[in-house]
Structure 1
């Protein structure tokens, strides 16, 4: 596995535990932060009124919770004053419990209102976030359906899935949680400072002076832990990649006796992960104790200064209580904002990856007056076709092929000759550079893509079956197929017998990779699916490569019956399977170098004859004397 893939395998957003979220952890950053953020905000603009409501409810919820300590301090002051007057023997001195009760009821009301507005805020924001992400997912899904095959061929499926699933989920969680937390943190920070200033500007200055010290300590420790976090993520990616490789190739490792080597590699990576991990966690874990220490220093200073002010009657004792609570709250929004800053960076990076996908060049759109072939015959022509995956590297040059209705066309040649490319061009998965391809005299660029693809039935070397019953997988070939038609298609593909030997027969559930049946059985099911589809043109790309010789003979008979009256393109490496083809196209280096029947090509004694003979000639072993 490459280093790049290992990095991807272990990627993802994580945080150091010891320092709280976001402390010291390396964060994925966007290339164009400002532009991507503005584009992401654009998705929120249609819901600006809901966002305004969220902003107002967040402020109200936070304000109610901020003023509560100040009001609670009044109750403490009243209780303290009553106690002191009774201790001094003041005539008629008493504790005003009625006043205290009113304050408690007021506090209860404030807490209820705070909770209510917090609930409304979360409810509205949940709708905004999910509707926004719903539209984004829909755009991504629509985009994927409009991207050319070349896009998927040039990228790892895991990378595409990561953008569609992980990155979109990252955006969703940030919109849902971090946006409201960002608002409440700012309001809390400002509100706490205002409330502290109303109580005592001197004590407020003491609290604020501890802030730079906290930031200096945090930055110093975070910078030291950063390198270890990078090493931890790197080792984690390598470990994930190694485990994935080892369990995927478990049988091969056992067969070649590489268990000890595999375990040794695992132990080496695991050791590096341990060394980086504990250092990263330990160093980042020092942050919170040190911040608590600095906070406690400020707490002691506040108590001393506050006690002095109380003795001078410059401040009420209830205000000291409230101020201590505010001092405790002061660092919380700062930590939250630092965490949110990291999350927003990661989210914008995820958004950038999604937008890159949305900005990919789409396949050429259908013609405005695109046609449909209602009763296709299956006559195919390649006229002066030129094609290359890259403009400066032409693979097929000036190809001309004429296929009549009902003919069986075999395409043979060495690996990389362009056989599968020919089929991709025929189905317009790739656009040709020059020339044109017609079906029944109609240029395929003038046909609707859906109609064009419906003309073909395909059986590929790489089988594709989905998680579902065998019946559903066969029925995928034709909508509303009857039970009888499904069974007949299975019989024609010689799949009916093995299906009925399974415990649940046609109701057998295939897992995600259809690994609960053999490779040959998978191929039989895909062949049955193609038979059920009853297409005008058949494409068989090494369709019998995964079955045994006896089953191959049965399938060949079924295919011969199926191909009667249909145009068929057969890609084959085993040349014995295409001897009865009407035309054999022999390809090499992207060009058709020979074409004709089997007998004609063998008589020529050219490239095809060499390929054919190489499969059947056996060297006579020398006799050992």
Structure 2
């Protein structure tokens, strides 16, 4: 229960209180609406006991006019409630989604390595939706309903204490049942968000990997996995529906008992002239006004439980540590030369499973360092550390003498360019993808980058040229074409530090020849880390590091390492034979 109180209090402070003016207007409107709803039942006493027996036509006309006015007030306040609060709730949802997405983008790479993108989509789009029940009509109806029930109770006691007390017994039992049900429902809703995120994540992966699925004839396998996830979601929903059904059925039964009792007690009192017919009808309608909000509260309670469960999950994300910590990263780099040094750097993705062991090397400004070695040796990890995507567990990486762990990431990454093996292209045009790092670049700068990466070699053949749509992840292009666009993007960014991770791996021999020329232009004067399996692509590197099992096995130029006839010599001669 303590956890729930904290969540409600936090929700009140962060979401409701900053919008207290709107909530107050909502409460005022609902009070007016509920006050107007008492007019019709209270007029029944006068209709049955005074107007009809006395055949008072002028009073009847006045009464009908008052009731119509009350109905109009209810209609107008209902419209304004939806207009003001529901619209504000939707605005809040859009704002929260933007905040959560902004927070997620600020989280470190490690977080994304361990979380499915589809799951994150679900958390951004679905978890915050329950806010509409906090700032929207749900909360206001809860408060308004409570006020209505209290006023109705006072009026009922005024008519008949005996009949009122009799109705309170089943209502008290219903309240106990509802509270028990809410305790069960909230964890169910919280778990539902988690299951929904997992199912959405798997579905996103399935759609993204459709070629692999079809290529291995695995449609049925994927269908079964998704079906199992959907079934878990169904089981979760079934539990919440069962709890809700218990509340609904118990309310129906207990209210039926109360109504039957009122008929008996009321009929007896009328026969003994202790109650008029008008008072009995007024009591019956006022009882409806008292009971309706209490029953409605069970539904609103479920909505608020769902809202708080979603906010709990959102809060988890919002409390995560961002990679850019302004208290630790106090150094801002305006201009950099590009001298990078690794000093005794160790790194592990999992505890006690080090990938790099006390790596030490330096890359002078404007030089090219090539990282070679077998798969899993630690090459990409070194590149990830140099790109500031990862932080060393021990040791120091410096840029121009500044400890990279203390440098503002945004100021460093302004000078960083990355071309990856499976470089990501966005759905849209070739032009938009190349302009991605510098949307405001001139047409002249764009054309220069296009020519330098030999993108024009294939775009000139396309009907729409640079405005050709490339599909999701550039699916309509060949691997070599996608790679050249990625290189053009890096050229346009004009970085001081460049990371090329298997940048030529997707190229055919002809494309590779063209790209080698563009890469020579790209790397000139820039500090460059090159990871390549094809050793022919790195012969001109200023320094080659042979990485084996997280250690630097050899270092030197191509000619020096060939002369040593060590690990590099073996790798190079083996590839030459192939």
Q: In 2, distance between residues paired with 1:361 and 1:232?
A: 25
1:101 corresponds to: 61
| Equivalent position to 2:382, from 407, 422, 447 | 422
Q: Does 1:70 align with 2:42?
A: yes
Q: Does 1:40 align with 2:1?
A: no
1:157 corresponds to: 117
| Equivalent position to 2:549, from 574, 578, 589 | 589
- What's the CA shift for 1:395? 3.8
Contact residue 470 and residue 510 of structure 1 kept, 8 A:
yes
Give the match's secondary structure for 2:375: coil
Q: Does 1:306 align with 2:266?
A: yes
- What's the CA shift for 1:130? 6.2
Contact residue 452 and residue 521 of structure 2 kept, 8 A:
no
Change (3 A) 1:330 1:537: same
Q: In 2, distance between residues paired with 1:31 and 1:156?
A: 31
Alpha-carbon deviations, 1:343-394, whole Å to 9, x = none? 32332222222222222223342678734343x4433333343444567555
Q: Does 1:318 align with 2:278?
A: yes
Alpha-carbon deviations, 1:17-68, whole Å to 9, x = none? xxxxxxxxxxxxx982222222222213344454444434333322221343
- What's the CA shift for 1:570? 0.7
Contact residue 366 and residue 447 of structure 1 kept, 8 A:
no
Contact residue 225 and residue 283 of structure 1 kept, 8 A:
yes
Change (3 A) 1:385 1:37: same
Give the match's secondary structure for 2:474: coil
2:494 corresponds to: 534
Contact residue 47 and residue 128 of structure 1 kept, 8 A:
no
- What's the CA shift for 1:291? 5.0
Q: Does 1:437 align with 2:437?
A: no
Q: Does 1:453 align with 2:413?
A: yes
Q: Does 1:57 align with 2:29?
A: yes
| Equivalent position to 1:203, from 159, 163, 188 | 163
Contact residue 408 and residue 583 of structure 1 kept, 8 A:
yes
- What's the CA shift for 1:474? 0.8
Change (3 A) 1:261 1:134: closer
**Bigger Cα displacement from structure 2, 191-200 vs 247-256:** 247-256
Q: Does 1:507 align with 2:467?
A: yes
Give the match's secondary structure for 1:32: helix
- What's the CA shift for 1:323? 2.6
Q: In 2, distance between residues paired with 1:119 and 1:504?
A: 51
Q: How many residues align?
A: 576
Q: In 1, distance between residues paired with 2:419 and 2:559?
A: 27
Q: In 1, distance between residues paired with 2:348 and 2:226?
A: 43
Q: In 1, distance between residues paired with 2:296 and 2:177?
A: 17
Q: In 2, distance between residues paired with 1:336 and 1:565?
A: 71
Change (3 A) 1:59 1:266: closer
| Equivalent position to 2:127, from 144, 160, 167 | 167
- What's the CA shift for 1:293? 5.7
Contact residue 231 and residue 273 of structure 1 kept, 8 A:
no
Contact residue 171 and residue 347 of structure 1 kept, 8 A:
yes
- What's the CA shift for 1:123? 5.2
Alpha-carbon deviations, 1:552-591, whole Å to 9, x = none? 2221122123323333211112222212222111112322
Give the match's secondary structure for 1:543: coil
Q: In 2, distance between residues paired with 1:170 and 1:465?
A: 34
Contact residue 514 and residue 522 of structure 1 kept, 8 A:
yes
1:184 corresponds to: 144
Change (3 A) 1:39 1:240: closer
Contact residue 338 and residue 496 of structure 2 kept, 8 A:
yes
Alpha-carbon deviations, 1:114-137, whole Å to 9, x = none? 444445555554576567667755
Change (3 A) 1:185 1:247: same
| Equivalent position to 1:556, from 511, 516, 526 | 516
Change (3 A) 1:106 1:355: same
- What's the CA shift for 1:99? 0.4
Contact residue 55 and residue 183 of structure 1 kept, 8 A:
yes
Change (3 A) 1:249 1:496: same
**Bigger Cα displacement from structure 2, 244-253 vs 308-317:** 244-253
Q: In 1, distance between residues paired with 2:19 and 2:185?
A: 40
Give the match's secondary structure for 1:458: strand
Q: In 2, distance between residues paired with 1:599 and 1:370?
A: 39
After TM superposition, the structure 1 = structure 2 runs for residues 176-575 of structure 1, keeping only pairs within 5 Å, are 176-211=136-171, 249-258=209-218, 291-292=251-252, 295-363=255-323, 364-365=325-326, 370-374=331-335, 376-389=336-349, 394-444=354-404, 447-575=407-535
Q: In 1, distance between residues paired with 2:160 and 2:371?
A: 89
Q: Does 1:579 align with 2:539?
A: yes
Give the match's secondary structure for 2:136: helix
Contact residue 412 and residue 573 of structure 1 kept, 8 A:
yes
Q: Which is bigger in relative contact order (C-alpha 8 A, separation at least 6)?
A: 1
Change (3 A) 1:288 1:52: closer
CA RMSD of aligned residues (A): 4.2
Runs of at least 5 residues in structure 1 that lack an aligned partner in the other structure? 1-29, 83-94, 619-625
- What's the CA shift for 1:471? 1.1
- What's the CA shift for 1:529? 0.7
| Equivalent position to 1:607, from 537, 543, 567 | 567
Change (3 A) 1:518 1:332: farther
- What's the CA shift for 1:69? 1.1
Alpha-carbon deviations, 1:439-486, whole Å to 9, x = none? 344444565433321222211123222233321211123342222332
